[in-house]
Structure 1
Amino acid sequence: MLLALLLCGAVGAGAAEMTDTRMLVPVGHTVGIKLFSRGVVVVKLSEGGTPAKAGGLQTGDVIVKCAGNSVTSTEQFQSLLQKSGGETTDLQVKRDGSSVTLSVEPEQNERGVYGIGAWIRDSMAGIGTMTYYDPATGAFGALGHGIADVDTAQLMPFSNGSILPSTVKAVKKGESGAAGELRGDFDLTGDLGDLYANTSNGIFGILEADDYSPVLGDAVPVGRAQTGPAVIRSNVQGDTVEEFDIEIVSVTSTGSDGRDMVISVKDPDLISATGGIVQGMSGSPILQDGQLVGAVTHVLLNSPQKGYGISIQRMLATAESVA
């Protein structure tokens, strides 16, 4: 299975200050990720007059109930529409954080199947990079940004999910105006751990460490990023995690959406292999002076050797707030 849906989003050295004595393993290995939404996401409305449009349904809405029944998957939602027999049916929808109730009248197509003229999605899968593992708790964080629906660009409403072993099979190099990507294989039956949250600052879960121990190294202290030389740990070929030289160009305390720092790739080997930062590298841990200070999040489309990173403090604070 070749997927890379979980992107890096496309848009002098000083000693890093210790913020506490917390010790984390900077992982840097890709993982397969599968995520299931709470309800179903409306990703597109059919052309012309449809029951969905007549009822006020919009792209990006999340249908959480149909005729009073909780919606758990696309198949189950379609089954509920069939039971309606074309009668007016209430839909409970989440829109921009609010709950809205709409009424639709499903129509039968030429095959006798009832529908409302909306394309819906209940899950996503792809690859990304694990940032850290906490040996004290078994918790992990990855990506440094959330998993967004590929069509609506909205954060997928989280129900459950898991991570899987992944191997990088190929790389599409990035170039100005076009993001590159890691292409990996992963086994949908080989769960390594469960997710408990999908947030704008990363995905978080609990790792079955025994199954992943071959790629876990030693724990390092948590630090605070400063401008200057640093390295990232990343898996851009096979199962190998390597360290690559970067520079932290700037750091801000007011960043948002994974933009706490601007980074620039300096390592000729990484530039030769990937062109810079590519999709699938999201979550690659950033280390400075032997301390974990953040993770890669976004690539600059017009300059793939540059991108953004999120501070490890922001990731950890988010992980704790949703745990």
Structure 2
Amino acid sequence: MKKMIRYVCMTLAAVLLCPIMTASSQEVRRTVHVGGMPFGLTMYTNGVVVVNVDDSYDSPAKAAGLRENDIITRANDEKITSNERLQEIIASSGGADIELSVLRGKSPLSMTITPETDDDGNYTAGMWIRDSTAGLGTITYFDENTHSFGALGHGICDRDTGLLMPLGSGKIVKAQIGSITKAKKGIAGGLNGYMSDEEIGEMTVNNSFGVYGKYTDEPEGEEIPCAFDSEIETGPAQIIATLDDGELQTFDVEIEGFHLNDKSGQNMVVRVTDEDLLDKTGGIVQGMSGSPIIQHDRLIGAVTHVFVNAPEKGYGITIGNMLSCYEQFGGIREES
């Protein structure tokens, strides 16, 4: 048995990055292997994210002009890929100026920070930074044509700032659901699970409509066609998810409405009608992000968010938006 590590639960957040392109604009219907299985991810950022700047005094970070959500990419012209390396540069500075390259949104900035000593005589900058995250979610599809996968239906964001994490590198591994925290009105539930050490793919894109990359395992799940936006209807549908019994299961839902041109990516309102799922989870819970939505034997999209005050309901994104957003930002379609 593979060694199981890291007890984790993925939070839900999304930030708009790319424009909507609907599936109805595609000339050829896509066919993919449907997902529904859990996966674990470990992601490292391109640079380090400033989570907080100490403004209780004129700290070095505040004096330099750094702000929450800034991304530090270089220090003294050295590429920064980890918290530890930036901390080493600050600690060994001797109080000398450090030249920083910073991204604020899409704008590159240059700043100078001058570390100072704390009460213990160590050089500090007066800021908190983050370079990695880990979590649990659900695979939406595997595409044999591009040898790619899509998952979550929303981006991975920093839990403190809500900023979309800038992907430097990342991997996905097999995961197992160990327990369920049932959702209640006002309290988000969650699928709690274990990440294994069995790597199944590499992350190459983290944008507001999902995480994407190349898979190394054989595709799992039935091969089915993708729906065009014009084919999505209000009415009965199903979602595919894996709970703590470890089995892929299909649950009944209702598509209550849709906003296919909504640029938030929250294109469908989904209500759980399946009594077994309601009894087990209370509705849609964290960790179910990416669960495929099926209607008329076609993949129409994925579950993305839960309504915290009505956990039997949530949002879904169309499969057309997931596919087109991947192809615009890092996906390469291979000729068949």
The unaligned stretches of length 5 or more in structure 1 are 10-16
| Residues in 1 aligned to 2:272 and 2:60: alpha-carbon distance in whole angstroms | 51
Instruction: Tell me what 1:69 maps to.
Output: 78
Paired positions, count: 312
The alignment status of 1:200 with 2:208, answered yes or no, reads yes
Does 1:264 find its partner at 2:271? yes
Query: Are 1:53 and 2:67 matched, yes or no?
Result: no
TM-aligned CA deviation for residue 85 of structure 1: 1.5
The Cα offsets for residues 192-237 of structure 1, whole Å up to 9 and x where unpaired, read as: 1001100000000111124xx5xx1220011132111000001122
Alignment of 1:131-142 (within 5 A): 131-142=140-151
The answer as to whether partners of 1:8 and 1:281 remain within 8 angstroms in 2 is no
Residues 163 and 192 of structure 1 are in contact (CA less than 8 Å); yes or no, is this contact kept in structure 2? yes
Once residues 267 and 122 of structure 2 are traced to their aligned partners in structure 1, the CA distance between those partners, rounded to angstroms, is: 50
Q: What's the CA shift string for 1:135-191, capped at 9, x where partnerless?
A: 23321000000000000001001111010110000111111111111100012x321
Structure 2 unpaired stretches of 5+? 1-5, 15-23, 332-336
What letter matches 1:40 in structure 2?
V
User: Deviation digits for residues 39-74 of structure 1, max 9, x if unmatched?
Assistant: 000111233331111111111111111111111100
| Map of 2:288 onto structure 1 | 281
Task: Letter of the 1:222 partner, please give it.
Answer: C
**Which residue of the partner structure matches residue 148 of structure 1?**
157
Preserved contact between residue 13 and residue 155 of structure 2 (Cα < 8 Å): no
Q: CA offset at residue 83 of structure 1?
A: 3.4
Change over 3 Å in CA distance of 1:18–1:59 after alignment to 2? closer
C-alpha contact 1:3 1:125 (8 A) present in aligned 2: yes
Q: 1:115 aligns with which of 124, 129, 132?
A: 124
- What is the RMSD of the two structures over their aligned residues, measured on CA atoms? 1.8
Given the alignment, which residue of 126, 136, 139 partners 1:130? 139
Q: Which residue of 1 aligns with 2:20?
A: none
Aligned to 1:2: 7
Classify 1:8/1:77 alpha carbon distance in 2 versus 1 (closer, same or farther; 3 Å). closer
- SS of the residue aligned with 1:313? helix
Question: Once the two structures are aligned, what percentage of the paired residues are identical?
Answer: 40
Give the TM-score, by structure 1 length.
Answer: 0.92
Q: Secondary structure at the match of 2:7?
A: coil
- CA distance in 1 between counterparts of 2:239 and 2:263 reads 21
**Residue 109 of structure 2: which of 92, 95, 100 is its match?**
100
